[in-house]
Amino acid sequence: MTTASPKIPITILAVEDEAPIRMLLAEFIEEMGHCAVMAADGEDAITQLAKHDNVDLLITDIRMPGMSGLDLAWLARTKRPEVPIVFITGYAPELNDTPLSQEANTAVLTKPFTLEQLRAAVRRALGN
């Protein structure tokens, strides 16, 4: 059984430092019928958030060079407190130590993941 995406197309900012995974994320987001805004690191993501005031969801890898996904999430929440977040991780025990991962509008997705798993994580973060 497949999990449906939200009916209305949304804009998703996806942040991933590994180019092949970033390309896969863009493909998956578009496959779900949504608009993908991509960033290669936290600094670029902050720039994209400022440029695109229509971002409905943030997907971020946790471990990235420079700004971590957790630091990015905290910063994004200061600018856009309502933005739902999907954290992507291969292994990040620090995620257990942050209240961000326990918020209602967040979800955690473990690498490697499928389109259906991404779709389910997006739905969890959006609360539907």
pLDDT in tens, 59-95: 999 989 999 999 999 999 888 888 999 999 887 565 5
pLDDT at residue 110, rounded to an integer: 84
Instruction: State the total domains in the chain.
Output: 1
Q: Is the pLDDT of residue 6 over 60?
A: no
Q: How far is residue 46's CA from residue 73's CA, in Å, rounded to a whole number?
A: 10
Domain carrying residue 66: 11-107
Buried b (16+ CB within 10 A) or exposed e, 72-87: bbeebeeeeeebbbbb
| Mean pLDDT of the region 6-31 | 91
Establish if 115 belongs to a structural domain. no
Q: Is the pLDDT of residue 11 over 50?
A: yes
Q: How far is residue 87's CA from residue 106's CA, in Å, rounded to a whole number?
A: 8
H-only helix segments in the chain: 19-31, 42-51, 69-79, 115-126
pLDDT at residue 99, rounded to an integer: 65
Under 8 Å CB-to-CB from 104, ≥6 apart: which residues?
127
Establish if 75 belongs to a structural domain. yes
Q: Please name every residue paired with 61 in a beta bridge, in sequence order, or none if there are none.
A: 88
Establish if 3 belongs to a structural domain. no
Which of helix, strand or coil describes residue 25?
Answer: helix
Q: How confident is the model at residue 32 (pLDDT cuts 50, 70, 90)?
A: very high
Tokens 């590994």, located at residue: 18
Q: What is the CATH number of the domain that holds 77?
A: 3.40.50.2300
Q: How confident is the model at residue 25 (pLDDT cuts 50, 70, 90)?
A: very high
